[in-house]
Amino acid sequence: MRNLLLLVALLGLAGCMKVSDLASGAEYHLRDAGFLDHGRTERMASRRLQQDSFIYIAQGHFVPPGHGYPRPNVVAEEAFKGFVEYFPLVRRARQPAGLDEAMAEARAAGAHYLLYARFAYSDDRIGTLEEWEDQEALDRLGTDRASIQLMLIETNTRYLVDTARIRSRGGFLTFYDARPQDLIGPPLHDYARSLIGVGR
């Protein structure tokens, strides 16, 4: 009798929601609870761009405070991977650059917008046996954290179109051998999607 009631309840739930909705809901709650990687983007404006906008992506020289030094230009590389799916006209700087230098490069390339990023915070916690042997500190165990700051600037007028802050944290199920720079790809992909107004 108990099995029959459970079957009826599952069939009732299946009739209310699609399986994909159930899966995405479960994934959202696992991310929010800290079991999976989680990223949150805070945009200061809600302006949308046309899909044929030419965006030049650059990263500043700033070295983030915290533990763990991310490789140079990693934000620009990850942003390029996320933006190229939605904006066909995307280029990125080969190396970190100052804001004025990046703006000059964007104008020389003929870009409409400059996406200028910096890795504001990086905390690479102990996630492997080798890292434990190097640090041996209980307070360093846990999930990685990262914070990125973005500025979207119109190249002709130097008008600040949008600013955003992305904060990411690792999950307890995915923290093994992870680094803060591994967390920034999906939120940058979501930011690119939000700039053209496409939902998840």
**What kind of fold does domain 35-120+145-199 have according to CATH?**
Rossmann fold (3.40.50)
Domain boundaries, given as residue ranges, for the chain: 35-120+145-199
Paired with 152 in beta bridges are 115, 162
- Give CA torsion, residues 34, 24, 176, 83, to 10 deg: -110
Q: What are 70-87's pLDDT values in tens digits?
A: 778 889 999 999 999 999
Instruction: Please tell me the distance from the alpha carbon of residue 44 to that of residue 40, in angstroms, as a whole number.
Output: 13
Q: What is the pTM of this model?
A: 0.76
> What's the pLDDT tens digit per position in 124-177?
666 666 766 676 666 666 677 788 999 999 999 999 999 999 887 766 555 555
Helix, strand or coil for residue 128? Answer: coil
Residue with the two structure tokens 């199920």: 173
Tell me if residue 175 falls in helix, strand or coil.
Answer: coil
For residue 119, give the nearest of 77, 63, 165 by alpha carbon: 63
